[in-house]
Structure 1
Amino acid sequence: MILHLLIASFFVLVGAEIRNELENKRELIAPLLAALGGMVFPALLFKLMQQESAAWGAVMPTDITLALAVIALLGKRIDPKLRLFVLALAVADDFLSLIAIGIFYSGKLNLATSASTIIAAGVGAILPKKDLVIKYLTPWSFYVVTPVVIITHFPTHFEFNGTVSSYLIARIIGKVVGIALVAWLLLKKEMIGIGLLCGMGMTVSIVIAEISTSGKELESIHSGIYLASIISGLLGYLWLRVKA
């Protein structure tokens, strides 16, 4: 129950961020298209390699807090506009992932999961004083929610099998190819670094994985989530550090 409430607070933040980004419709077009590319390519790659698996949705989301944490580590090396682009892309990514949950996984949703995702995001989108919601929930999400989710779902041992390798390929390569192809002309080589950062998916990916699968495959997907986040974050940091 406590974990569901923590995840709900994360999605309240996502909802507030979505509302905030929707107010700048012109500036949202490029990140939205990049997010679409960064979702479709990984999902197709995973489905091609794991045709029987229903967990393809877990490779799509980007973890906002993890991506921005890596950007923060780069400090002044990164153009502030690039940080805003990552934020807008990650928000669009999670927004589209929530739509995917509602469309493709609605038959598998239980009440607790629904409350932790779509309903909570809806609450965040309609709350007054969204700037205050974002101001206070962002550090809460970074210092409390994300660490708790990471610790709670951390694999007792890391699997490495066909499912894990498919997840890693879909996440790390699919995100880079999808985002870079769509937005290459906008920010050029920096988009490879952004694509790598967006390979980090945690909270939303875990939610989708637990909705879509179970048992041995779920353990493998959990391993893939953590390994992909570690590898993507490290490679994204190094790429942007060198290119900055």
Structure 2
Amino acid sequence: MITSVKNEKVKQWKKLHKRRERTQAGAFLVEGFHLVEEAVNSNWTVREVIIQEDVEQPSWTDSYPVVIVSENVMAHITQTTTPQGIIAVIESCEQTKRSGNHLLLIDSIQDPGNLGTIIRTADAAGMDGILLGDGTVDLYNDKVIRSTQGSIFHIPIFHANLEEVLSDLKEEGFSIWATALENASNYNDITPEGKVAIILGNEGAGVQAELIKQADRSVKIPIYGQAESLNVSIAAGILMYHLKR
């Protein structure tokens, strides 16, 4: 059992709280029984499971390397206020093969809670994949992972240069919808047909002008009350479910 926060393993786990270290290690941390089990039941690689000394060890952990740690070590490496006493180190999984008719393109969304909620909703709506553009918050940020509630392990997620990928999508027959306010059609006036890719933009700046120019149409969600705008994750949910009508 590891009892010291100065242990070399503990130092390596702690480093995974930073994006640069996660990228270098090719791994990230997942906390809590639900998320760890979602990872175990997926095709992602579990490097090791970290369990607090007084927590009952699930039977499925027999298939993985397990490290027992003291309560003070768990408190040192956890990023949740009420840790459940179980963490897994998961290998990053870079998707390479796209398929399907409904895609979501993320343009520089910065809030981890927003990205996580969008991923969870895209999973629920049956989207075929999500493409993360440059400037988007790290997929393996702990708040992103928690907000997905395990959906990060269910839906294909890619990193891409959106300007470049739009040309490819058009050649594949996709209609590109960019969310915008100016010169945009109400989404509910449009009947989705065939392949559709929706671009969602940064919380403050929206979709980049260059991407809007490449889109086949701009769409907006009408606001009937006093609110200035909709949260991007709510807008994403409305548009994704519209595709499934």
From the two aligned structures, give the one with the greater helix fraction: 1
From the two aligned structures, give the one with the greater strand fraction: 2
TM-score category of the 2 structures, normalised to the smaller one:
under 0.3
TM-score normalized by structure 1?
0.28
Q: Which protein shows a greater Rg? A: 2
TM-score normalized by structure 2?
0.28
